[in-house]
Amino acid sequence: MAAPKPLELAYKNVDGLNLTMDVFLPANATETSKVPILLWFHGGGLLQGTRKAVSPHHLSSPAKHNLCFVSCDYRLAPQTRVPGILADCKDAMDYIRSSTFADATGNRVDATRMVVSGSSAGGWLSFLTGTGIGYAACGLELPPPVSGIAALYPITDLADPFWTTKQHPVSYMPEVIPHAQVAAFVDPTSPKVAFSAVDSSRAIFYHYMVQEGILESLLLDGTGVPASAIGVAPALKTGKFKVPPVWIIHGDIDDKVPCRQARDVVSVLKEMNADVEYEELPGVNHSFDKDPQCEMDSMYAFIARVT
């Protein structure tokens, strides 16, 4: 069966740059029977990736689960640091709530019923946008409230030694990646990009970052924003952030993002008596939901419950 074609909507971010989101609507959505939104942010360490890198279950979700699935691009680091990336995410959320989006989608979407989601670094963005963590520290207004957060194998805290310890080579790579292979991507003065195809030369960048332990510098250098300001568990412990219902999933042998990243957040959420559902999958690695047989029914049941 051919993959459904999205409605591609372009909108301007706070800096006046054009960004694009792909919108997938179920056929039975109408003005009198509006559907909720699943807004998904792609992974790639905030360094690479594209809105096109969706999983099969995402593409089938409008028809199967009667929702509007939206996948949006955001500018990539280090050419754009975290404050700009968070601003892009808020701009996407604001655009979805605009009359322009309503017109473009035939007024068939209830933008007040939104679950923010993402995979890997996108899961991190779902936490930051869904709670507002990091926005004040970045000098930004808070994003609009959401109905829930659905985070898949998320990065959550730069304090984890995984992001600061050099691995020569990385455990899952056959050899050390030479700097020359990624020099253009590491250079913050290179042209800004908000789209990196999964088969492009930039696709090695995440693994180079892990190899050198430089994620914090790539995301935050020159911003004055401390890493602790965008650490999910530490921020939640302050009690300053309102948390909507949360669903998290992580494989326990993930070698791209340690499972303890999710466990730390879940532990804090349980201490807060928050509405949290956590699934830890034994013997499962990163990006497991790319498998066409993976339907993620528990996530979609969560989305139906909170929207």
Q: How many distinct structural domains can be found in the chain?
A: 1
What gap in Å lies between CA 159 and CA 164, rounded to an integer? 8
The two beta strands, 148-152 and 109-119, are parallel
Mean pLDDT of the chain: 96
Asked whether residue 2 is domain-assigned, the answer is no
pTM metric for this prediction: 0.97
pLDDT of amino acid 2: 62
Tell me the mean pLDDT in the region 21-37: 97
Question: What would the pLDDT profile of 83-139 be if each residue is shown by its tens digit?
Answer: 999 999 999 999 999 999 999 999 999 999 999 999 999 999 999 999 999 999 999
Question: What would the pLDDT profile of 168-213 be if each residue is shown by its tens digit?
Answer: 999 999 999 999 999 999 999 999 999 999 999 999 999 999 999 9
Question: What would the pLDDT profile of 63-91 be if each residue is shown by its tens digit?
Answer: 999 999 999 999 999 999 999 999 999 99
Cis link prior to 78 (omega < 30° from 0)? Answer: yes
C-alpha distances in Å from residue 91, one per residue of 101, 171, 242, 294, 300: 12, 37, 20, 31, 25
- The pLDDT confidence band at residue 45, using thresholds 50, 70 and 90, is very high
**Whether residue 19 has pLDDT greater than 60:** yes
CATH code of the domain containing 88: 3.40.50.1820
Radius of gyration of the chain (CA): 18
CA atoms lying within 13 Å on the CB side of residue 252? 6
What gap in Å lies between CA 269 and CA 252, rounded to an integer? 19
Contacts 24+ apart (CB under 8 A), 162-169: 162/210, 162/257, 162/258, 163/210, 163/213, 163/215, 163/216, 164/213, 164/215, 164/216, 165/213, 166/211, 166/212, 166/213, 167/210, 167/211, 167/213, 168/211, 169/211
pLDDT of amino acid 13: 87
Residue 236 burial (CB count, 10 A)? 23
270 membership: H or E segment, kind and range: helix 260-271
For residue 288, the enclosing domain spans: 7-306
What gap in Å lies between CA 300 and CA 205, rounded to an integer? 31
**Whether residue 158 has pLDDT greater than 80:** yes
Asked whether residue 27 is domain-assigned, the answer is yes
Asked whether residue 276 is domain-assigned, the answer is yes
C-alpha distances in Å from residue 167, one per residue of 47, 107, 171: 18, 50, 7
Tell me the mean pLDDT in the region 251-259: 98
The residue whose two tokens read 């670094």 is 121
φ, ψ (nearest 5 deg) of residue 95: -65, -40
